[in-house]
Amino acid sequence: MLRVSRMTIAAYLLPTFLVIALIDLYPIFYTFNLSFTNKSTFNTLDNSYHYIGVKNYQYVLQQTGGDFVQVLLITAFYVVVCVALFAFLGLITAMAVNHPRVRGKGFWGNALILPWTVPTFVTALIWKFLYNYNFGPLNQIIRLVTHNASAGILWLDQPTPAFIAVVIANIWMSYPFFMVISLGALQSIPADLLEAAQVDGASGWQRFRYIMLPLLRPALLPATILSAITTFQMFNTVYLITAGGPFTSGNINNPGATEFLMVYMFDRIQNNGNFFVNYGHIATVAVLVFIVLFALTMMSLRFTNLARETKR
Amino acid sequence: MFSQFSKRALGLTAVLAVATTLLLTACGSSGGNSGNTVDFSGTLTIWHDWSGAYLTAKQQIVQAYEHLHPNVHITLVNQTDDTKTENAVKAGTGPDIVQDPVDHVGTLAAAGVIVPIDQYESASALTSTYTQTASQSVQYGGHVYGIPEVTEILTIMYNKKLLTADQLPKTTDDMFTFEKTYSQQHPGSYGIVWDVNNVYDDAGFFYGYGAVLMDGNGNSTVSSQAGINADTYIAQYNSVLPKDINGQTATALFNEGKAAAIIDGPWAYTGYGQAIGADNLGFATLPVVNSTNTPVEPFVGGKAFMLTKNAKNPALAIDFMKFFTNASNQATMCASTGEIPSNIAAGQDPKITSNTAISAFVQQVKTGGVPFPNTPYMGEVWTPLQKALTAVWNGSETPQAALSQAQTTINQGVQQIKQAQGG
C-alpha cells in the first residue's frame, strides 16, 4: 500500500486551491463586500468610499422593485417556451433522421446541426436583418404573398412580435443540440426491442410512448435542464436582436418586452452606458441575480440526481 | 537741470524698457509654457479614439512634435473606456493625456481622473485661441480641464442628384410637408432621414422648441410643454418614415439614393461622399422651429485633450496639446479629416474656408447649436429619454406620459449622482 503523508497531499493540492481562491472565491467575496459600500466613480480614486449597510439592497429593491420580479417572470416564460419548443423540434427531427427509410443519415445529421455551429452573434445579426420591417426578407415574403405593398409585421418594435422573434431565433440556433442528444439516444435503442413490440401488435404511437420515450428520458432530462440554464442566462442573441426592447414606456423601471435577466443586468452594470458607475448598486444586483441563479442550479441538480436514479 | 531731467528721463526709459521686455517675454512664453521651463524629454502616453484615416492625419502631427523634440517619445493607444482610464490612473499606470469627447469632462473631473490646467492655460488665454464653444466645453466648475481638439455638430447633408438647394425646408413645418410630398412623389423613397429615437440626434429639436435636456445644476425640462411639443413633432414622422428606422437604416437609405437628405455629423460625411460621390453631397442648415422661431439647435460637442492625475511631466503634456492644436497643424489636419478646427486662426485658414464640408458645419454652429453639456448629470438623460422617445414613436405612450416618467427617472439619477458626490 502506498503511503503518502497528509502534508504531501496538501502540498500537491495547494496550487489548485490557491488558483481557485484567487480566481473564483476572491471576486465573489469582493463583490459581496462591495454591495455593502457606496463605491462609485467619484470615490474610487481616493478610496474614500465606506460601508453603508443594506442601503444598496433597499435602493435596488425599492427603485427597481416591481421590475426585478417582472424581469424574472418574463425570463422564466421565455425559458419554458423556448425549451419546450426546441425539445419538441429536436426530437421530431431526430426521429425523422433516424427513420430506417431515410437515406443519407450522415448528410442530414450534419446539415441539421449547422445552425448550432455558427457563432451565435452571426446568427443573431442575420435574424435581425430577416426581421427588418422595410427590407427584411420575412416582410418581403408577406408582401409578395398578400399582394399588399404596405403589409408586413413590425417584428422588433412591438412587444409580442419581438418576443416571438427572439424565441424563433433561439430555437433556430438551439434545437440541433437536442437533435444530436436525441439522435444518439435513439440509436442506442436496440432495434429488436421495437421489432418485438411490432410483432406483438403495438401501434406506432404505443412504440413511441412505451418504448422510445422511457429509454430517451435519461438522456433528455439532463439536456432539458442544461438548456433551461443556458436559456436563462442567454444574453448575446437577445441583446443583438432587440437590446431588450421594444421599450413601451418612458419609465426606466418598466422593462422592455425582451429584457431578460442577463440583458437587464447588463444594462444596470453599464448604468445605461454612463461613465458614472455606482459599483455598490451593481454589486447588489449581481448578488441578487446570483441568489436566483444559485437557487435554480440547486433545483436543477436535484432533478439531475433524480434522473440518474431513474436510470439506475 | 536739463541734464538732471535727461538723466531722469533716461532712467525712466530704461525702467520702461526693462518692464516692457519682461512683459513681452511673459506674454511670449504664456503661449507656450507659462514661464516654466519645459523638460523636453521622456515619454508621453496618449489614450485616444482615433482610427483609420483620422489616425494617419493625427500621427503626422505627433511625428512632427517628436521631430521637433528628439528626446520626447509619444505613445498612442486607442482606448476609449473611461472606467479603464480611472482604474489605470488609480494604479499609476494610466496615460499622461486622454483624448475624449467633451461631454466626459465633468465626470472625469469629478472623479479626479483629470486635473485642472489653469496654471498652464487660463480661461482667457483659452478663449483668445479657441472658439467660444470649444473653450466652454473644456471648462467645468470654474476650472480649465483641457485643450479642445475638434468641434462636432449635426447638420443636413443632401444628395444633389435628387434635390436642389432651394427645395430644402427652411422651417420645421416645411420639413414635415417636404417629407410627405417627397415620399408621395417617389414611392419607396424618403425625404430627410435620421436616427429618430436617438437622444443626441433629437436634442436639437428639444432645444429648438425651448426644452433643456440638462443644465449644469442638474435641472432638466424634458417633460415641459416645450419638450412635449418637440416629441410630438418628432413622433409624427412615424407616418412617413420607415417605422423601424435607426442610424444604420438611415445611412443605408441615403447611401442607396433612397433618401434625399440625412441629418448627420462630420464623422460620417466622408462615407456618404464615397457612396454617392463627393461632388453630389450638398449641405444645409437645420430648419427653424415655427412655433418658437428658434432654429433647431443640435449639440456642439467635440473632442479634447485632458491632463490626467498621474501625468509625469504636465508642462510637456500641455506643450504637446498646444502644439497639436496650433493654427497650422489644425488647418492641415482638419482639411484632411473634415473635422471642424477648434482653433480660431485655423478656422480662417484658406485650407479650411475653401472646404465645403467644414464650412457647412461651421455655418451650422453659427446658425444654431447649444454647447454639449459636460456635466456628469447629462449621463442620466440618455437612457430614460431614449426609452421615452421609443415608446412615443411606437405609439405605446403619449408624449406627456412618457416624458414625465423619463423626467422622474432623470431627476432620480441626478439625485443619485449628487449623493455619490457627497452633495
* Confidence at residue B330, expressed as pLDDT on a 0 to 100 scale: 94
Least confident of A68-72, B22-26, B190-194: B22-26
A44 is a domain residue: no
Q: Which residue has the higher pLDDT, A307 or A240?
A: A240
| pLDDT tens digits, B322-374 | 999 999 999 999 988 888 999 999 989 999 999 999 999 999 998 989 999 99
| pLDDT tens digits, B388-416 | 999 999 888 899 999 999 999 899 889 88
Q: CB of A46 within 8 Å of any CB in chain B?
A: yes
A8 is a domain residue: no
Contact B89 A38 (CB under 8 A): no
CB B97 within 8 Å of CB B307? yes
Interface residue of B243, B253, B258, B382 to substitute, partner A, most A CBs within 10 Å: B243
Q: Is the pLDDT of residue B137 over 70?
A: yes
What would the grid cell of residue A28 be? 465573489
* Confidence at residue B30, expressed as pLDDT on a 0 to 100 scale: 39
Q: Give the minimum alpha-carbon distance from A127 to chain B in angstroms, rounded to a whole number.
A: 15
Least confident of A125-134, B4-13, B170-179: B4-13
Q: Give the minimum alpha-carbon distance from A256 to chain B in angstroms, rounded to a whole number.
A: 9
Q: Is the pLDDT of residue B109 over 90?
A: yes
Q: What is the largest CA-CA distance in chain A?
A: 84
Q: CB of A43 within 8 Å of any CB in chain B?
A: yes
* Confidence at residue A214, expressed as pLDDT on a 0 to 100 scale: 86
Least confident of A38-47, A66-75, B153-162: A66-75
Gap between the Cα atoms of A112 and A177, Å rounded: 10
Q: Is the pLDDT of residue B21 over 50?
A: no
| Interface subset of A 257-286, CB within 8 angstroms of B | 267, 271-278
- Please give the single-letter amino acid code of residue A268: R
Mind giving me the DSSP string for A40-63? Answer: BHHHHTTT---B-TTHHHHHHHHH
Mean pLDDT, range A221-248, rounded to an integer:
83
Contact B244 A249 (CB under 8 A): no
Contacts of A154 in chain B (CB under 8 A): 243-244
* Confidence at residue B252, expressed as pLDDT on a 0 to 100 scale: 92
Q: Is the pLDDT of residue A309 over 90?
A: no
Q: Which domain holds residue A188?
A: 53-311
Contact A134 B242 (CB under 8 A): yes
What are the structural domains, with CATH classification, of chain B? 37-152+301-371 (3.40.190.10), 155-299+379-420 (3.40.190.10)
Contact B396 A40 (CB under 8 A): no
The number of domains in chain A is 1
* Confidence at residue B345, expressed as pLDDT on a 0 to 100 scale: 93
Q: For residue B43, list its beta bridge partners.
A: B73
* Confidence at residue A61, expressed as pLDDT on a 0 to 100 scale: 77
- Please give the single-letter amino acid code of residue B64: A
* Confidence at residue A311, expressed as pLDDT on a 0 to 100 scale: 53
| Strand-by-strand arrangement of the B155-159 sheet | B190-193, B259-264, B155-159, B281-284
* Confidence at residue A138, expressed as pLDDT on a 0 to 100 scale: 87
Q: Is the pLDDT of residue A32 over 60?
A: yes
A148 is a domain residue: yes
The enclosing domain of A101 has a CATH number of 1.10.3720.10
Least confident of A231-240, A269-278, B25-34: B25-34
Q: Which residue has the higher pLDDT, A16 or A254?
A: A16
Mean pLDDT, range B118-125, rounded to an integer:
92
* Confidence at residue B16, expressed as pLDDT on a 0 to 100 scale: 46
Q: Is the pLDDT of residue B28 over 90?
A: no
Please provide residue B101's backbone torsions phi and psi, each rounded to the nearest 5 degrees: -60, 145
A229 is a domain residue: yes
Least confident of A113-127, A270-284, B107-121, B266-280: A270-284
Q: For residue B284, list its beta bridge partners.
A: B156
Contacts of B113 in chain A (CB under 8 A): 45
* Confidence at residue B54, expressed as pLDDT on a 0 to 100 scale: 85
A16 is a domain residue: no
Question: Prior bond to B384 cis, omega within 30?
Answer: no
| pLDDT tens digits, A160-172 | 888 999 999 999 9
Q: Give the minimum alpha-carbon distance from B346 to chain A in angstroms, rounded to a whole number.
A: 32
| Interface subset of B 230-249, CB within 8 angstroms of A | 242-244, 249
Mean pLDDT, range B75-84, rounded to an integer:
89
- Going B409 to B414 to B415 to B420, the CA torsion angle's sign is positive
Q: Is the pLDDT of residue A191 over 90?
A: no
Q: Is the pLDDT of residue B4 over 90?
A: no
* Confidence at residue B172, expressed as pLDDT on a 0 to 100 scale: 96
What would the grid cell of residue B254 be? 441615403
**Running DSSP on this structure, what letter comes out for residue B304?**
E
* Confidence at residue A218, expressed as pLDDT on a 0 to 100 scale: 82
* Confidence at residue A63, expressed as pLDDT on a 0 to 100 scale: 67
Q: Which residue has the cell 497528509?
A: A6
A71 is a domain residue: yes
A45 is a domain residue: no
Give percent of chain B with pLDDT exceeding 90: 70
A123 is a domain residue: yes
| pLDDT tens digits, A107-148 | 888 888 888 888 888 988 999 889 888 788 888 888 888 887
Mean pLDDT, range A269-273, rounded to an integer:
61
What would you report as the CA-atom Rg of chain B, rounded to the nearest whole angstrom? 25
CB B161 within 8 Å of CB B276? yes
Q: Is the pLDDT of residue B17 over 70?
A: no
| Interface subset of B 263-322, CB within 8 angstroms of A | 309
Helix (H, G, I), strand (E, B) or coil at B320: helix
Separation in Å, CA A116 to CA A93, A97, A179: 14, 17, 10
Cα angle: B304, vertex B307, B310; to 5 degrees: 150
Q: According to the per-residue pLDDT averaged within each range, which of A239-253, B22-36, B372-386 is highest?
A: B372-386
- Please give the single-letter amino acid code of residue A274: N
Gap between the Cα atoms of B402 and A252, Å rounded: 10
**Band of pLDDT at residue B29, cut at 50, 70 and 90:** very low
Gap between the Cα atoms of B356 and B282, Å rounded: 9
**Band of pLDDT at residue B256, cut at 50, 70 and 90:** very high
